[in-house]
């Protein structure tokens, strides 16, 4: 080793050193995080559907540097679904209203908050995982005969204009374990309701009817699939909601 310098050994030394350097940086990167306090702390304290909008509460605390403006993105599977901006934000609580896409309802989404710092001092990006809670429910509460035709009553709460229809409805007399209506029991039409809460009556056409097992005082089980289509400016979004209820 201490004799004549061999180019082969020199090349070997370079290769080992280069690989060593790569491994060192890969497994022991410099730790810059936590070295200095962040300009401020950010948190998404609440994100809730209100009507057909989404209300987001943004808390900014311990401001070493004042925030200037905010841009909030809501991403689902890496795709931006909603975006909103606030031209002025303050240290404290800030509320932001943005559109509510039907794709976000009842989903875990990534909320990306981009807060720019006063005086062009860069920006702070924060990523949050939040459940988008929106009040919505659909349920078949009752089936009764109106002029000899079975009619299903559906209670609903929806944030959007919605088209509702029923399929695979079945009414069972629990006391007698007998089916009253069933087997390809679908609504004869669909109904469009506005956003909000209400009741809806949909006539049914059933291939099997056994009115003989209808008896006052018995308990009946109502099952069915509620086909919901949200009619929104973002486009139509359909989903099926299962429903199970008991009636007397």
Partner 1 sequence: MPTSASDLARAAALLVIISMVMVAVLPAVTASARYYSVRIGFIVSISTPTGVRVSLYLPMLVPVVLLAAAAFYELRGARSSAAYLSIAALSYYIVVALELAHGLSYLRGLAVFYGIPGALYSLLVVPGARPTIYLPPLIVMTIASASTLIASIWPEVRRAPEAAGELARRGFGASLEELERTRPWAARALLEMAKYLPEAREGETGTR
Q: Quick check: 192 binds partner 1 (CB under 8 A)?
A: no
Q: Quick check: 4 binds partner 1 (CB under 8 A)?
A: yes
Which of 46, 71, 110, 157: binder of partner 1 (CB under 8 A)? Answer: 110
Instruction: Provide CB contacts within 8 A for 127, sequence distance 6+.
Output: 110, 111, 112, 113
Q: List % helix, strand, coil for the chain (3-state, nearest 5).
A: 10, 60, 30
Which of 92, 235 has the CB closer to partner 1? 92
> In terms of Cα–Cα distance, which of 165, 47, 158 is closest to 102?
158
Q: Which of residues 58-77 bind partner 1 (CB under 8 A)?
A: 64-65
3-state secondary structure of 41: strand
Which of 92, 106, 122, 242: binder of partner 1 (CB under 8 A)? Answer: 122
The total number of residues shown for the chain amounts to 248
Judge residue 205's burial from the number of C-beta atoms within 10 Å of its C-beta, 0-12 exposed, 13-18 middle, 19 or more buried: middle
Q: Smallest gap, in angstroms, from Cβ of residue 114 to partner 1?
A: 9
Tokens 């936590």 sit on residue: 34
DSSP 8-state code for residue 133: B
Which of 74, 101, 120, 175: binder of partner 1 (CB under 8 A)? Answer: 120
Q: Smallest gap, in angstroms, from Cβ of residue 93 to partner 1?
A: 14
Which of 122, 235 has the CB closer to partner 1? 122
> In terms of Cα–Cα distance, which of 143, 75, 77, 159 is closest to 113?
75
Kindly write out the interface string for residues 8-47 of this chain, putting x where it contacts partner 1 by CB under 8 A and - elsewhere.
Answer: -xx--xx-xxx-xxx-xxx-xxxxxxxxxxxx-xxxx---
Distances (CA, A) of 17 to 9, 30, 248: 12, 19, 82
Structure tokens at 155: 């209670």
Which of 73, 91, 127, 182: binder of partner 1 (CB under 8 A)? Answer: 127
Q: Smallest gap, in angstroms, from Cβ of residue 96 to partner 1?
A: 17
Which of 77, 78, 88, 129: binder of partner 1 (CB under 8 A)? Answer: 129
Q: Quick check: 1 binds partner 1 (CB under 8 A)?
A: yes
List residues near partner 1 by CB under 8 A.
Answer: 1-6, 9-10, 13-14, 16-18, 20-22, 24-26, 28-39, 41-44, 64-65, 110, 119-129
């Amino acid at each position: 080793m201490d004799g004549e310098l061999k180019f082969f050994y020199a090349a070997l030394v370079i290769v080992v050193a280069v690989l060593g350097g790569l491994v060192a940086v890969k497994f022991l990167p410099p730790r810059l995080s936590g070295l200095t306090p962040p300009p401020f702390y950010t948190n998404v304290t609440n994100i809730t559907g209100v009507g057909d909008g989404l209300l987001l509460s943004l808390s900014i605390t311990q401001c070493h540097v004042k925030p200037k403006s905010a841009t909030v993105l809501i991403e689902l599977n890496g795709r931006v679904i909603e975006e909103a901006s606030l031209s002025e934000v303050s240290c404290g609580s800030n509320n932001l209203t943005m559109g509510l896409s039907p794709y976000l309802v009842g989903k875990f989404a990534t909320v990306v908050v981009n807060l720019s710092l006063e005086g062009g001092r860069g920006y702070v990006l924060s990523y949050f995982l939040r459940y988008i809670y929106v009040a919505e429910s659909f349920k078949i509460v009752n089936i009764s005969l109106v002029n000899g035709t079975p009619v299903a009553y559906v209670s609903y709460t929806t944030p959007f204009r919605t088209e509702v229809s029923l399929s695979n409805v079945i009414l069972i007399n629990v006391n007698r374990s007998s089916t009253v209506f069933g087997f390809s029991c679908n609504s004869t039409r669909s109904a469009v309701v506005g956003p909000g809460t209400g009741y809806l009556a949909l006539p049914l056409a059933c291939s099997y009817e056994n009115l003989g097992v209808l008896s006052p005082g018995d308990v009946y089980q109502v099952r069915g699939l509620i086909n919901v289509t949200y009619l929104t400016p973002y486009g139509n979004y359909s989903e099926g909601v299962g429903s199970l209820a008991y009636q007397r």
